[in-house]
Amino acid sequence: PKNRPLQIIFRLMKAIKTIRNQGEEFTNRERTWLLSMVTSLSHTVGRCEQLVQTPVPLSYAWHTSRFLSVWTLTLPFALVGSLEWLTPVVVFAITWALFGILEIGHMIEDPFRASIELTPICEAIYHDCARALPVSRPPVPDKPKAAEKPKAGEKAKGKAAKRSEVVQIRRSRSAAPSPSGIAAPQLKVESDIAIGGRP
| pLDDT tens by residue, 80-98 | 888 888 999 999 999 999 9
Of 47, 53, 35, 33, the closest CA to residue 5 belongs to 47
Residues contacting residue 95 through CB under 8 Å, at least 6 positions apart:
72, 75
Query: What mean pLDDT is predicted for residues 45-59?
Result: 81
The answer to whether 186 touches 171, Cβ cutoff 8 Å, is no
Percentage of the chain surpassing pLDDT 90?
19
Would 160 be classed as within a structural domain? no
Q: How far apart are alpha carbons 173 and 24 in whole angstroms? A: 75
Query: What mean pLDDT is predicted for residues 122-138?
Result: 75
Would 80 be classed as within a structural domain? no
13 is in which domain, residue-wise? 1-54
Average pLDDT score over the chain: 75
Say what the pTM is. Answer: 0.44
Q: Kind and range of the H or E element at 46?
A: helix 28-53
Q: How far apart are alpha carbons 141 and 144 in whole angstroms? A: 9
Q: How far apart are alpha carbons 4 and 11 in whole angstroms? A: 11
Would 173 be classed as within a structural domain? no
pLDDT band at 161 (very low <50, low <70, confident <90, very high): low
Would 139 be classed as within a structural domain? no
Would 143 be classed as within a structural domain? no
> What total of structural domains would you count in the chain?
1
